[in-house]
């Protein structure tokens, strides 16, 4: 089986989520054999490609046209690379980029795609995939018919792979000017934060509707996170209310995470929220309501007012 | 301008999921269903575009809802019409439809209807695939803007703010195009009772996959399903000191 990983560059590194995709690829090799290759597309990716080659032989498609991830151009490029490399299995990370561009590539490759895979298994000589549905309420094993199979790896289900030693970097030959280009990138507003991303942080301090203002959220949730080197998360209700930034949303339709510690403060625990964090190693909750559903999914709970408990925690840590 | 809005029927997420006897699908009998929330947002956005008369040439905007699924989808189709869609297309099928088949059927409907814009959910909240919009954009060779949190028009271009992992990305495209919706785009209106009555008289075009010449050949087959419970035995601690001690003991701090 020929496995092609579509990796994302993050500066001079391989993005964390892509390293989780590499782990999924290694699990496939363990279950059924195969060779792993990595492809990186972008502008100015030499350093990231070198970093990627420490995991598996790496192929690059580098051009100024790829400075922004427009889905039509990227999707067509990914499909062409998969065909050129003769991939039987294409694996990408379940990031917004993966969902946007790789799904489009999957359609060009015949439409066999498994989103957010959490496990794979060789059953009677055929590779099958596990994924969750219905807001994490159901785990399903699915068979993928057709070739290549395109899979996105749910980041929280796989530890990021560790490098194993430098291999080769090879430039791909694709006519980039001929790729579709009907989507125009205008601008991006990226968040300005020194905190670890919510999908990568070992500790996530998460705040919900209990916080009255964005200032309170930043001072208390942000402050506690900074105190212990954690990332910040939030419920959708807090994002909707303008209290927490978009990128922080944890849940079925936000980020799905599994940190070592998830501390949910002033979050009730709606099913859509639980879908994003219930596989965290340790879950703790602070809530004024002893009957908040989140408590049923937590290891520890403190019944207290967030506005009093958080300053006290910051002082004692 | 014509806007096509796929509206999928999904089980009410507030109801517990039960599986069928051979554990290959959710048992929807007796479970109340709703329009996929992301599709309701898509329909709301189409209605707002019409209300704000942002049609390109000042022409009228027609909104067509498309639903693929069993006869029982009639109820959700009626709701879409009551919310304000002008008419509906119902592709009737009792078969298992995956995102690939759904996108292929939608492509066939687009070929017939020739819309200028398709607005649809970024994902359906039952299967959570997040595929059909991207697949459809590929089939049509149209530009796509997924995860939209803001849509506006400027001349013959549509501008979309997209929610990505790293922040808000702004893109623009010429029509025709596919847009998939994120939660913050808008809050959908409810269908009023009188509107539900009036919706009975709006036209619904009924066809089957065979009529559309599309083979129902799903790429992803569900072999088995199990319902998950992630409940834990929660220890109530009495104060902040105890919480910190417990978290340290567990190696989490
Ligand atoms: C299609 C769809 C998708 C969705 N996707 C997501 C998703 O991805 N992620 C998500 O989170 N939600 C999602 N939701 C929304 C979800 O259903 C809930 O509405 C949301 O999670 C509630 O957020 P919350 O817990 O912050 O607010 P609430 O439910 O209002 O809870 C606030 C909590 O704070 C407690 N509290 C209040 N004051 C204090 C205080 N001073 N100190 C301590 N505790 C206090 C309360 O007791 C309560 O438990 C989705 C909904 C839909 C329909
Ligand atoms: C009788 C029957 C039983 C089924 N049982 C199950 C089951 O138990 N578990 C399961 O996971 N799947 C089941 N399916 C299929 C499943 O519900 C989805 O249609 C399929 O997996 C596509 O995934 P998705 O909707 O998440 O697609 P996504 O790619 O997430 O959908 C994105 C968008 O595409 C559009 N779209 C997708 N499907 C339709 C549609 N049918 N009509 C209109 N617009 C649509 C919507 O705008 C939607 O927001 C069943 C289908 C049928 C007909």
- In 3-state terms, chain B is what percent helix, strand and coil (to 5)? 30, 30, 40
Q: What integer best gives the mean pLDDT of chain A?
A: 96
Total domains present in chain B: 1
Which of B130, B174, B220 faces A142 most closely, judged by CB atoms?
Answer: B220
In tens, the pLDDT along A26-67 reads: 999 998 889 999 999 999 999 999 999 999 999 999 999 999
Residues of chain A neighbouring B177 (CB-CB closer than 8 A): 182
Position A137 scores a pLDDT of 86
Position B117 scores a pLDDT of 97
Residue B238 maps to a domain:
no
Q: In the predicted model, is pLDDT for residue B53 greater than 80?
A: no
Same fold, A2-178 and A203-316: yes
Cα A251 to chain centroid distance, Å, stands at 12
* pLDDT band at B58; cut points 50, 70, 90: low
Report DSSP state, residue B71. Answer: G
- The percent of residues in chain A predicted with pLDDT above 90, rounded, is 92
CATH fold of A203-316 reads: Rossmann fold (3.40.50)
**Nearest ligand atom owner, CA of B102:** 2
Q: What are the residue ranges spanned by the domains of chain A?
A: 2-178, 203-316
Residue B237 maps to a domain:
no
In tens, the pLDDT along B67-123 reads: 999 999 999 999 999 999 999 999 999 999 999 999 999 999 999 999 999 999 999
Atom of ligand 2 nearest to the CA of B136: 34
Nearest-angstrom CA–CA distance, A145 and A147: 7
Residues of chain B neighbouring A240 (CB-CB closer than 8 A): 183-184
Mean pLDDT along residues A265-273: 97
Position B60 scores a pLDDT of 86
DSSP result, B89-139: EEEE--S---HHHHHHHHHHHHHHH--SEEEEES--TTT----HHHHHHHH
Residue B248 maps to a domain:
no
Strands A113-123 and A126-133: antiparallel
Mean pLDDT along residues A277-296: 97
In tens, the pLDDT along A223-245 reads: 999 999 999 999 999 999 999 99
Pick the CATH number of A2-178 from 3.40.50.1220, 3.40.50.970, 3.40.50.620, 3.40.50.2300: 3.40.50.620
* Cβ–Cβ gap B135/A103 under 8 Å: yes
In tens, the pLDDT along B9-27 reads: 999 988 888 899 988 888 8
Nearest CA in chain B to A281: B252
Residue B241 maps to a domain:
no
Cα A290 to chain centroid distance, Å, stands at 32
In tens, the pLDDT along B34-43 reads: 999 999 999 9
At B143, which CATH number? 3.40.50.620
Which of B11, B128, B167 faces A188 most closely, judged by CB atoms?
Answer: B167
* pLDDT band at B141; cut points 50, 70, 90: very high
In tens, the pLDDT along B157-196 reads: 999 999 998 889 999 999 999 999 999 899 999 999 999 9
What's the whole-model pTM score? 0.90
Cβ-based neighbour number of residue B72 at 10 Å? 12
Strands A35-42 and A2-7: parallel
Q: In the predicted model, is pLDDT for residue B59 greater than 70?
A: no
Q: B132-140 and B99-113 helices cross at what angle (nearest 10)?
A: 40
Domain residues for B216? 2-225
Query: For residues B86 and B62, is the Cβ–Cβ distance under 8 A?
Result: yes
* Cβ–Cβ gap A313/B128 under 8 Å: no
Residue B246 maps to a domain:
no
């Amino acid at each position: 089986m020929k496995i092609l990983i579509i990796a994302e560059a993050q500066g001079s590194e391989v993005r964390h989520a892509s390293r989780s995709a590499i782990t999924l690829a290694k699990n496939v090799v363990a279950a059924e054999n195969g060779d792993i290759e990595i492809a990186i597309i972008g502008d100015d990716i030499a350093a990231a490609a070198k970093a990627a080659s420490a995991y598996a032989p790496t192929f690059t498609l580098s051009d100024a046209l790829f400075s922004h991830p427009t889905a039509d151009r990227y999707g067509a490029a990914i499909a062409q690379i998969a065909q050129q490399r003769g991939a039987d299995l294409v694996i990408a990370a379940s990031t917004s980029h993966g969902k946007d561009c790789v799904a489009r590539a999957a359609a060009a490759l015949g439409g066999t795609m498994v989103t957010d895979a959490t496990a794979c298994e060789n059953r009677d000589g055929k590779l099958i995939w596990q994924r969750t549905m219905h807001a994490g309420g159901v785990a399903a094993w699915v068979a993928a018919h057709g070739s290549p199979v395109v899979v996105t790896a749910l980041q929280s289900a796989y530890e990021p792979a560790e490098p194993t030693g430098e291999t080769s970097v090879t430039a791909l030959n694709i006519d980039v000017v001929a790729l579709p280009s009907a989507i125009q990138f205008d601008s991006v507003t990226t968040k300005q934060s020194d905190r670890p991303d919510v999908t990568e942080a070992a500790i996530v301090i998460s705040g919900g509707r209990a916080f009255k203002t964005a200032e309170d959220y930043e001072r208390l949730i942000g402050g506690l996170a900074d105190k212990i080197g954690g990332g910040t998360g939030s419920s959708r209700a807090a994002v909707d209310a303008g209290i927490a930034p978009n990128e922080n949303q944890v849940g079925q339709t936000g980020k799905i995470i599994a940190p070592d510690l998830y501390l949910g403060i002033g979050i009730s625990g709606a099913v859509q929220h639980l879908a994003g964090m219930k596989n965290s190693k340790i879950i703790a909750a602070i809530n004024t309501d002893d009957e908040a559903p989140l408590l049923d999914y937590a290891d520890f709970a403190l019944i207290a007012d967030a506005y009093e408990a958080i300053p006290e925690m910051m002082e004692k840590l | 301008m014509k806007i096509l809005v796929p509206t999928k029927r999904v089980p009410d997420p507030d109801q517990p999921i039960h599986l069928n006897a051979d554990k290959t699908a959710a048992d929807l009998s007796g479970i109340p269903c709703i329009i996929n929330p992301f599709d309701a947002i898509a329909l709301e956005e189409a209605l707002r575009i019409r209300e704000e008369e942002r049609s390109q040439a000042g022409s009228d905007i027609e909104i067509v809802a498309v639903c693929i699924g069993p006869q029982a989808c009639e109820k959700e189709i009626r709701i879409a019409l009551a919310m304000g869609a002008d008419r509906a297309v119902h592709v009737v099928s009792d078969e298992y439809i995956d995102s690939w088949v759904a996108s292929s059927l939608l492509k066939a409907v687009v070929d017939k209807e020739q819309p200028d814009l398709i607005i649809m959910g970024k994902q359906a909240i039952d299967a959570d695939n997040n595929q059909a919009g991207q697949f459809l954009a590929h089939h049509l060779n149209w530009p796509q803007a997924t995860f939209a949190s803001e849509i506006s028009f400027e001349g013959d271009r549509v501008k979309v703010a997209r929610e990505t992992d790293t922040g808000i990305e702004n893109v623009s495209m010429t029509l025709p195009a596919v847009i998939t919706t994120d939660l913050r785009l808008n809050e959908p209106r409810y269908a009023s009772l009188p509107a539900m009555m009036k919706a009975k008289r709006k036209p619904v075009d009924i066809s089957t996959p065979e009529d559309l010449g599309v083979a129902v050949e799903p790429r992803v087959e569900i072999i088995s399903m199990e319902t998950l419970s992630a409940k834990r035995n929660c220890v109530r601690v009495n104060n902040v000191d105890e919480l910190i001690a417990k978290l340290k003991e567990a190696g989490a701090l």
